[in-house]
Amino acid sequence: MQLPKPATRPNVHLHTDIPAVQFAYNSSIHAVTKFSPHFLTYGQRSRLPIDSEWKLRTENPLSYPEYAATLAQRLQTAWEAVRKLSRRRQKLNKDEHDRRRASEERPIAIGDLVLLEIPVRQNKMGDRWRGPWIVKMVRKPNVDIEDQASGRRTTVHLNRVKRFFLLHRSMPAERPLHASGPNDVPD
């Protein structure tokens, strides 16, 4: 949750807004757990100011031992549900992460030239890839590479390298321009 910035709202006094923001957060149902933090702490939904206007009361109030037993059972049930839902979400997140980050089959062999991805760049307009590097050893999912310029060796994950191809273009022979006038253009 992002708090409002004082620069965006004039005369903002965050110290007076924080309790309301905290109450709203604690009363909101979490997307994964399906419970509010208040319910998981106190075993009942939070009381809103409108609840005091309606004066909602139970028909038969429970005795203290009955209330304590009911509250303990309610909290135990909620916590167990949260554990199951959290484990399910963790598994889904792990599967998605593994699917995205699994080393793809890359045709990289010893002696190939590769470029190395720079994961954190100081300048977002700077180069994303550095190299070329020479592949010295392939041990999936990692690869040992050596910098051509400095001779420095390092081991990186296959997802951080890509093949580097040198383009050999034959340049057309230059033709001399012998234009004698403004309308003479070489063919």
Range of the domain at 71: 14-55+63-101
d(C-alpha 177, C-alpha 152), whole Å: 48
90 plus 142 within the same structural domain: no
In angstroms, the first-to-last Cα distance of the chain is 67
Q: For the chain, how many structural domains are there in total?
A: 2
So what's the pLDDT on residue 74?
A: 95
141 within domain boundaries? yes
Task: Measure Cα distances from 22 to 28, 36, 41, 44, 97 in Å.
Answer: 10, 12, 14, 17, 31
So what's the pLDDT on residue 104?
A: 61
What is the percentage of the chain residues whose pLDDT exceeds 70? 76
CATH number of the domain bearing residue 132: 2.30.30
What sections of the chain are H helices per DSSP? 14-27, 37-42, 49-54, 64-101
The dihedral sign for the CA sequence 8, 14, 16, 22: positive
d(C-alpha 24, C-alpha 41), whole Å: 15
Residues 7-26 pLDDT 10s: 556 666 777 888 888 999 99
45 plus 68 within the same structural domain: yes
Asked whether the predicted pLDDT for residue 154 surpasses 80, the reply is: yes
pLDDT-derived band at 96, boundaries 50, 70, 90: confident
124 plus 94 within the same structural domain: no
* CB 137 within 8 Å of CB 154: no
So what's the pLDDT on residue 26?
A: 93
Altogether, the residues listed in the chain come to a count of: 187
20 plus 77 within the same structural domain: yes
146 plus 74 within the same structural domain: no
45 plus 93 within the same structural domain: yes
107 within domain boundaries? no
Strands 129-139 and 113-117: antiparallel
Residues 60-77 pLDDT 10s: 788 999 999 999 999 999
145 within domain boundaries? yes
So what's the pLDDT on residue 13?
A: 73
In whole angstroms, what separates CA 36 from the centre of its chain?
Answer: 24
Question: Edge-to-edge, what's the strand order for the sheet holding 113-117?
Answer: 153-157, 142-147, 129-139, 113-117, 161-163
* Amino acid at site 132: P
Asked whether the predicted pLDDT for residue 2 surpasses 70, the reply is: no
46 plus 91 within the same structural domain: yes
80 plus 28 within the same structural domain: yes
